[in-house]
Amino acid sequence: MNKNVKKDKILIIDFGSQVTKLIARRVRELGVYSEISNLKEIKLLKNFENIKGIIFSGGPATVTKKKFPNIPYKIFKLNIPILGICYGLQLIAVNFKGKVKFNKRNREFGRSTLKKNSNSPLIKNFFSNKKSVSVWMSHQDAVTKLPLGFKKIAYTEESSLTIIENKKKKIYGIQFHPEVTHTDKGKQLIKNFVFLICKAKKNWHVQNEKQKIINQVKSVVKKDRVICALSGGIDSSVVALLIHKAIKNNLKCIMVDTGLLRKNEFKYTYYIFKNYYKINVKLINASKIFYKKLKNITNPEKKRKVIGNLFIKIFEKEARKFKNVRYLAQGTLYPDIIESRSSTGSKTSKIKSHHNVGGLPKKMKLKLIEPLKDLFKDEARKLGGSIGLIKKISSQHPFPGPGLAIRIIGKITPEKIKILQEADSIFINELIKNKIYHKIWQAYAALLPIKTVGVMGDSRTYEYTCLIRAVTSEDGMTADYFNFSKDFLDKIGNKIINGVKGINRVVYDITSKPPSTIELE
């Protein structure tokens, strides 16, 4: 729990749903601060000041078993409005003498039609005129007996108690997921809970946090030195700029050129940070050693490991050359923090460390400083914009730590990297030129390890296949492939084949995530 936030906040208790983070994002998008907590923290929490509402997330457990993660009853006595989603609804039901049953016939996955039964502030402007709305479900258990003191607000064919309300106690339960975009007007329902029921004030805006974050860095670091691995990605760029604003030249940045970035990207980032922002950046050209260590490696996980370990080794060696450094700055984001702990508070899930700095603090005896640890990626992006990070960096697509290595399937060679950089650059520039770049969450070109026969002019060719991928997404957890026009695809195919020697076939990846992932390896 962040004790520094004195604003109105909505507390989300995580029971392990895959989409809990989306609940927090939806609330923040409304201009109200939200935080995700787990059962262990809630049991210890004494001060509920500023908490205007509590949301129980969904989760994989079932209340039909003898033992299940339950909410401490004190939470229901706080007189703070509560919204239970999916498993959260079922928890509310069993705590107030309702019944929940597993029934094959009641289970619903995907879209369902929700129908209105009675009025409630929770559903203001939520239903269309026909008194029905499409919602997204993912449940096997269903509430089969209304809990004491509750009223039925809405239902579906399969489950008769899909929204329930106890107006006096301000407790609400819903079986579907308003946080996912597949639920029509899901944002409206969350808005109703936050403003009409919780009466929270709209006073969270990440741009207003910048001075607070800068002051926090100043007060922690004082006159000590901070070191930072700068890649040119959004997270490390925002971190470097923020810390530089706080402590000026006591920040030392190291850029390790792995040779695995996009065409000209490394030089550009170095130039901007060194000459435009006047930040102390040391450049290490390590591409040769990276290529050498990656030679003949085809296994994706092995590639990641080799890159990660080598990066650490080089960074560590360079960092030791700076004297009197006490802190290591890292671009850890809020989702990384949430993912690093389990919903029940046990230590079963491992910390997800960034590939490029994981393990460093322990070895180097440096203290960690993570100024973005309470923010989502899009908030870090906005914060970057408000402290002067140039748009080309702050609005760029995400780029994976291992870089082009996981976009060259199979063996990596300097020749293949060059071919891919050229193809990728043509693709991305066309997206920008045609004003499509910002409609897409992530786009890239990849090189497949197959050569096929083609014909160019009067000659037969035998060259590589380039795969292009472009997806829309909110957070990278799920993604849909982008629907390009045939004209655009024609243009891309032609430009890549005519412009890049070594490629004679271009294919477009039409899979979504799931079942595929965004990257190929």
Q: Is 513 in the site for ligand XMP (CB under 6 A)?
A: yes
Provide the minimum distance between the beta carbon of 444 and ligand XMP in the complex, in angstroms, as a whole number. 8
Q: Does 401 bind ligand XMP (CB under 6 A)?
A: yes
Q: Rule CB under 6 A: say whether 305 interacts with ligand XMP.
A: no
| Tokens (6 digits) for 358 | 């994981």
- Nearest approach, Cβ of 312 to ligand XMP (angstroms)? 14
In the complex with ligand XMP, the residue whose CB is nearer, 457 or 514, is 514
Binding-residue pattern over the window 275 to 304 for ligand XMP, x denoting contact by CB under 6 A: -----------------------------x
Q: Which residues of 60-92 are buried (b: 16+ CB within 10 A; e: fewer)?
A: ebebeeeeebebeeebbeeebbbbbbbbbbbbb
- Contact between 264 and ligand XMP by CB under 6 A: the answer reads no
- Rounded (10°) CA dihedral 263, 269, 271, 276: 140
The count of other CB atoms within 10 Å of the CB of residue 434 is 15
Contact 4, 374 (CB under 8 A): no
**Which is nearer to ligand XMP, 151 or 513 (by Cβ)?**
513
Of 407, 448, 433, 450, nearest in space to 492 by CA:
433
Q: Considering the rule CB under 6 A, would residue 92 count as an interface residue with ligand XMP?
A: no
16 vs 398, which CB is nearer to ligand XMP?
398
**86 flagged as catalytic:** yes
- The nearest distance, CB 148 to ligand XMP, in angstroms, is 45
Site string for ligand XMP, 351-390 (x = CB under 6 A): ----x-----------------------------------
The reply to whether 345 sits near ligand XMP by the rule CB under 6 A is no
Q: Which is nearer to ligand XMP, 52 or 303 (CB)?
A: 303
DSSP secondary structure letter of residue 272: I
Q: Is residue 179 exposed (0-12), middle (13-18) or buried (19+ Cβ within 10 Å)?
A: buried
Contact between 124 and ligand XMP per CB under 6 A? no
Burial class of residue 102 in the structure, from the number of CB atoms within 10 Å of its CB (0-12 exposed, 13-18 middle, 19+ buried): middle
Size of interface with ligand XMP, in residues (CB under 6 A)? 12
Closest distance to ligand XMP from the beta carbon of 518 (Å): 3
Closest CB to ligand XMP among residues 183, 442: 442
438 is catalytic: no
Find the shortest distance in angstroms from Cβ 521 to ligand XMP.
Answer: 8
Identify whether the C-beta of residue 476 lies closer than 8 Å to the C-beta of residue 441. Answer: yes
Does 335 engage in binding with ligand XMP (CB under 6 A)? no
Compute CA 309 distance to the chain's CA centroid, rounded to the nearest angstrom. 24
Instruction: Confirm whether 198 is a catalytic residue.
Output: no
Find the angle CA(453)-CA(458)-CA(462) to the nearest 5 degrees: 20
Q: Are 497 and 465 in contact (CB under 8 A)?
A: no
Per the CB < 8 A criterion, the answer to whether 295 and 204 are in contact is: no
Pick the catalytic residue: 35, 86, 228, 379? 86
Per CB under 6 A, the segment of 21-29, 95-103, 110-118, 396-404 that binds ligand XMP is 396-404
Chain residues 428-447 in contact with ligand XMP, contact rule CB under 6 A? 442
Q: Which of 108, 165, 177, 354 is catalytic?
A: 177
Interaction of residue 402 with ligand XMP, rule CB under 6 A: yes
Which residue is catalytic, options 179, 265, 318, 379?
Answer: 179
Choice between 149 and 476, CB closer to ligand XMP: 476
Q: In terms of CB distance, is 59 or 401 closer to ligand XMP?
A: 401
Nearest Cα neighbor of 170 from 97, 86, 78 is 78
- State the nearest-atom distance from the C-beta of 319 to ligand XMP, in Å: 20
d(CA 146, CA 118): 14
CB of 398 to ligand XMP, least distance (A): 4
Which residue's structure tokens are 């004494």?
A: 46
Taking the least distance from each CB to ligand XMP, the nearer of 122 and 467 is 467
Angle formed at CA 31 by CA 85 and CA 73, multiple of 5 degrees: 35
Span 457-496, contacts to ligand XMP by CB under 6 A: 476
Helical axes 377-386 vs 234-247, angle rounded to 10°: 40
Q: What share of the chain is helix, strand, coil (3-state, %, to 5)?
A: 35, 25, 40
Cα–Cα distance, 139 to 112 (Å, whole number): 11
**What residues are annotated to the active site?**
86, 177, 179
- Which residues contact ligand XMP (rule: CB under 6 A)? 304, 355, 398, 400-402, 442, 476, 513, 517-519
